[in-house]
Chains A and B, each alone.
Chain A
């Protein structure tokens, strides 16, 4: 009986480091790449806003108020049009990007840091500590978050810093729950038991064995949370209790433009589109991350290699 030779497809990836493999896969994926690139562009625009803004976002020019965007009969002077005070929309959006993203990143960092720590403690200590922390998290999850946030912001006085604090208080729970369940799952693995038996202390086990396994799921979660915070901040600023003038944030711009919905629709529509694109890219990236860091899903992708094999065999038989 002849042995049919199996030739490995030429596109196989070698045993490179996990990060390189991940990047390699990202470059070959469709939506994941789009998400990552667009998100990076947005972040870049936010970071470099002061340098790439065509105008000063706060500069008012009542003689050119309510100018339409370029594609609606406007001029190159104000590519995305102007608002009721003659301020250039593009510049405002860029400035708003800074603040909106800053808030989102800050909240992810604070809520994520706190939540992950709580989750680690709960997962590792177990028993009462775990029960207490999780109870608190569960109960807080049942709180009407946005409402309370509104009341607090109103009561103390809205500001970007308070916004960050309030959103962080509302946001740590999901990190805690996910971290905890991951830690519990890992602890049960024989791998950890072996490390414990060989005398490694809790800190070492935590650092070398548990944390590395948390990176991918937490990364995915952080990207998702980033998206969610952008939306939450937009809502709060829209209502007037988030970022305050003269600062700009995407939500606030929409709020300020809502009276002109029918006359200068671009003031409401365009900032929303920008929010949409940003959040969508984050979601696409997160979706891709989730799939590509889950070993079971990878198997399915590899199934396509088999088609190559079938063709090879068919060729050899004839």
Chain B
């Protein structure tokens, strides 16, 4: 079995509101292995971005981690000193909007170079050379001239490439990408995804791709975690997930994706709205919108269970079908066994 790089276990993150604190992420468990391309898919509010931030130990106030662990090769990301050491060296992150995620008043050279100089002790000249290399690697033409430019002088797609270059400067083993293509034009999206895939192959970097777009998942990922209502509701390798989704929500998502190869009159969608937070709905978070919900679903939230080899779902109906519907309490029991 390939090494695990990142291990998130039973993560719980809460946020304060006027009517009291609520969970944004509840009991999420997932792992990323070396060179793996993991997709984390869900709609807005599913908790996927918060999970990504927690993976870096970067949950922003007023939100706070209130339970669970996140470990990088066994080291806790909640230990401030460890986390600061791991970030920018072993794990790097890229964000959705490069316009605001890059310092608007700092040159590209500096933004790439500071990681090299501060974290890896490069000299200024060495850093400059390496920055040019990185810009070339991410496909920016005339890199030497563009070093001294500021982010606003680049187009959207180019800016995203710069952000990738900044992330790669750390020579990470894992790249966490939070909706890296969402803010871009469709054609550029494809280019950026292609770039990330090439880089991942070339440099052996694992990628944790956070997205709401199933197309991205299908294109890019090896394995998928589907999130809903602050929880992981399904976990599977990508092809089996698309071919035969277990959880009714994943089934809904797959069914509602427009397809070129099948003739359909209308697009299907999932009726209803996602919950505002992890405890907004009693029992299984998906039950109000689920065509298969039964009484148990409405009362008790199902745990994420491995129903078949490498196929996990948090659904009582599926669990019943596989004979695993006995009551289970506490943590996700089968977590230690497989990814």
**Interface positions of A (Cβ within 8 A of B):** 1-4, 6-9, 12-13, 299-300, 302-306, 308-310, 313
CB of A300 within 8 A of CB of B66, answer no
User: Within 8 Å CB of B15, what residues of A?
Assistant: 306
- A110–B191 alpha-carbon span in the complex (Å): 60
- In the complex, identify which listed stretch (B40-48, B107-115, B208-216, B326-334) lies at the interface while the others stay far away: B326-334
- A7–B12 alpha-carbon span in the complex (Å): 16
Q: Which residue in chain A gives the minimum CB-CB distance to B328?
A: A1
Interface residue? B19 (CB, 8 A): yes
Please provide the chain B residues from 56 to 77 with a CB less than 8 Å away from any CB of chain A in the complex.
61-64, 66-67
CB of A310 within 8 A of CB of B20, answer no
**Interface positions of B (Cβ within 8 A of A):** 12, 14-23, 27, 61-64, 66-67, 279, 301, 303, 328-332
Complex partner residue of A306 from B19, B21, B330, CB under 8 angstroms:
B21
CB of A1 within 8 A of CB of B303, answer yes
Given A1-B303, A6-B279, A313-B66: A300 in contact with B23 (beta carbons within 8 A): no
Complex partner residue of B301 from A3, A306, A313, CB under 8 angstroms:
A3
User: Within 8 Å CB of B64, what residues of A?
Assistant: 303, 306, 310
Other than the given A2-B329, A3-B301, A306-B16, 5 more pairs (CB < 8 A) read A4-B12, A8-B19, A303-B61, A306-B15, A313-B12
- A8–B23 alpha-carbon span in the complex (Å): 12
Given A302-B62, A306-B14, A306-B16: A6 in contact with B329 (beta carbons within 8 A): no
User: Within 8 Å CB of B329, what residues of A?
Assistant: 1-2
- A261–B279 alpha-carbon span in the complex (Å): 69
Given A3-B279, A6-B279, A300-B61: A309 in contact with B66 (beta carbons within 8 A): yes
CB of B27 within 8 A of CB of A1, answer yes
Main secondary structure of the interface of B (DSSP, over half): loop
A-B contact count (CB 8 A): 63
CB of A303 within 8 A of CB of B301, answer no
Give, as a whole number of angstroms, the nearest-CB distance from B297 to chain A: 14
CB of B331 within 8 A of CB of A6, answer no
Given A1-B329, A1-B330: A8 in contact with B20 (beta carbons within 8 A): yes
User: Within 8 Å CB of B303, what residues of A?
Assistant: 1
Give, as a whole number of angstroms, the nearest-CB distance from A264 to chain B: 54
Give, as a whole number of angstroms, the nearest-CB distance from B64 to chain A: 5
Give 22 CB contacts A-B under 8 Å: A1-B27, A1-B303, A2-B329, A3-B279, A4-B12, A6-B22, A8-B20, A12-B18, A13-B18, A299-B62, A300-B62, A303-B62, A305-B21, A306-B15, A306-B21, A306-B62, A306-B64, A309-B14, A309-B16, A309-B21, A310-B64, A313-B12
Give, as a whole number of angstroms, the nearest-CB distance from B41 to chain A: 22
Give, as a whole number of angstroms, the nearest-CB distance from B283 to chain A: 9
- A7–B14 alpha-carbon span in the complex (Å): 13
Give, as a whole number of angstroms, the nearest-CB distance from A68 to chain B: 53
Q: Which residue in chain A gives the minimum CB-CB distance to B62?
A: A303
CB of A306 within 8 A of CB of B66, answer yes
User: Within 8 Å CB of B14, what residues of A?
Assistant: 6, 306, 309
User: Within 8 Å CB of B279, what residues of A?
Assistant: 3, 6
Give, as a whole number of angstroms, the nearest-CB distance from B25 to chain A: 13
Given A1-B301, A1-B329, A300-B62: A313 in contact with B67 (beta carbons within 8 A): yes
- A15–B2 alpha-carbon span in the complex (Å): 53
Given A1-B332, A6-B279: A305 in contact with B20 (beta carbons within 8 A): yes
Q: Which residue in chain A gives the minimum CB-CB distance to B302?
A: A1
User: Within 8 Å CB of A310, what residues of B?
Assistant: 64, 66
Q: Which residue in chain B gives the minimum CB-CB distance to A13?
A: B18
Q: Which residue in chain A gives the minimum CB-CB distance to B303?
A: A1
User: Within 8 Å CB of A8, what residues of B?
Assistant: 19-21
Q: Which residue in chain B gives the minimum CB-CB distance to A317?
A: B67
- A299–B330 alpha-carbon span in the complex (Å): 32
